[in-house]
Amino acid sequence: MAKSNGKILALTAALLAGSVLTSGAFAAEGTATGDTSGKKIAFSNSYAGNSFRQVMIKSFEAAAAKAKADGKIAGSAVVSSNNSVTEQASQIQNLILQGYDAIIVLAGSDTALNGSIKEACDAGITVVAFASGVTEPCAYVVDYNLDSYAKAELDFIASKLGDKPANILEIRGMAGDGFDKRLNEGVNKALAAHPSYKKVGEVYGQWTGTIAQKEVSGVLPSLPQIDGVLTQGGDGYGAAQAFKAAGRKLPIIIMGNRQDELALWKKEHDATGYETFSLGATPSVSQVAFWVAQQILAGKQVPKFVEVPLLQINQPDLDAWLKTVPEGGVVNAEYPQDLVATIIDANVAKAPLPMVPAPK
């Protein structure tokens, strides 16, 4: 019996040691090094009709090309659906049939692609949705905290206007888009914290300057004085042009890190002392999604939701950031594999996210 008990104790100790080692490996920080050299990662994009999305695609392609050159993946692909969820669903199904190991999705709808995404998961494919609020629970989600996004916009306006009554115009993205819906919800929550502010208008600018200008110009004649304009990125320049064309005073327009927005901000600041704030997603969030997918395939522990820090530009840093962005482009930042692993670890530990510093 004693000998038998000794064997049981030894076996129990071995199992416990194995459990500790397994737990330690599962929770390990840093970059996972599992072999992904034979894996293929695709990107299904809903829309490519503005500079932000075009840079986003190029950022994904750059990360994928480097990963392939370094022997970390076997191949990649990008498909875009011109904002047709039906076409995007069909494209995801084609990627499943083509044998991709992971599919990154920037969805045109937070719900309409759930069937195709579930089909991919059921086929053993890792699905990473980003910046679009996909609701299918099998997908990993890489995204921003859009409540914080909206709060930062309203807090900046409040820092300039105080609590006096103010009229707010909201420029939204694209109707039906998950990112737009969630940011709009964040705006409504943030407005509740500023009861003296009243939203007097709302238009869809589709994150594009020309469309934003047209839509804002269409509603301005029916609106009272506007004190602040909330945006989603790519619409600040168009909004400013609409106010100028209408002969109206330029309100506080939150910019979205596009070159034309930053250049206009600088010009107005140099001429009149105009100050605002720029906030937004970076196109290279596609690189975060890419490396999250690769790290999952490599065996890293990744939470179902990975929050990404927003890139903020304040007045003292305007000139430095403006120098980095080409004409017609958008401020961008690189997210290499090791930085993405750090972002994942910060999410797991619920620690502060690493921020993108201003260029020197």
Which backbone phi and psi does 210 adopt, to 5 degrees?
-65, -40
- What is residue 223's DSSP assignment? S
- Residue carrying the six token digits 């990975």: 306
Span 334-354, pLDDT tens digits: 899 999 999 999 999 999 998
Q: What average pLDDT does range 239-247 have in this prediction? A: 98
199 pLDDT exceeds 60? yes
Q: How far is CA 139 from CA 42, 198, 269, 307, 338, in A?
A: 14, 37, 44, 14, 22
Q: What average pLDDT does range 194-202 have in this prediction? A: 97
Radius of gyration, CA atoms only, the chain: 23
Two structure tokens written together for 303: 């939470």
Lowest mean pLDDT among 13-27, 227-241, 298-312: 13-27
**Strand 278-280 to 102-106 pairing:** unpaired
Distance CA 219, CA 198 (A): 16
The torsion region of residue 128 among left (phi > 0), alpha (psi -120 to 50) and beta comes to: beta
Distance CA 215, CA 220 (A): 9
Q: What is the pLDDT of residue 174?
A: 92
Q: What is the pLDDT of residue 330?
A: 86
Q: What is the pLDDT of residue 28?
A: 64
Contacts for 259 with CB less than 8 Å, ≥ 6 apart: 322, 325, 326, 327, 328, 329, 330, 331
Percent with pLDDT over 90 in the chain: 77
Domains and CATH numbers, the chain: 40-144+282-309+334-349 (3.40.50.2300), 146-280 (3.40.50.2300)
Contacts for 317 with CB less than 8 Å, ≥ 6 apart: 358
Q: What average pLDDT does range 6-30 have in this prediction? A: 41
Q: How far is CA 151 from CA 13, 156, 198, in A?
A: 52, 8, 15
18 pLDDT exceeds 70? no
- Residue carrying the six token digits 């330029």: 250
Q: Which of 169, 142, 150, 167 is nearest to 277 (CA)?
A: 150
Residue 117's pLDDT band, with cuts at 50, 70 and 90, is very high
**Strand 278-280 to 311-313 pairing:** antiparallel
Span 122-154, pLDDT tens digits: 999 999 999 877 899 999 999 988 899 999 999
Q: What average pLDDT does range 182-192 have in this prediction? A: 96
Distance CA 287, CA 299 (A): 18
Q: What average pLDDT does range 201-230 have in this prediction? A: 97
Q: Is the pTM of this model over 0.85?
A: no
Q: How far is CA 215 from CA 117, 172, 220, 242, 253, in A?
A: 34, 11, 9, 9, 15
Residue 356's pLDDT band, with cuts at 50, 70 and 90, is confident
Two structure tokens written together for 136: 């299918």
333 pLDDT exceeds 70? yes
- Residue carrying the six token digits 């719900």: 111
How much is the mean pLDDT over the chain? 90
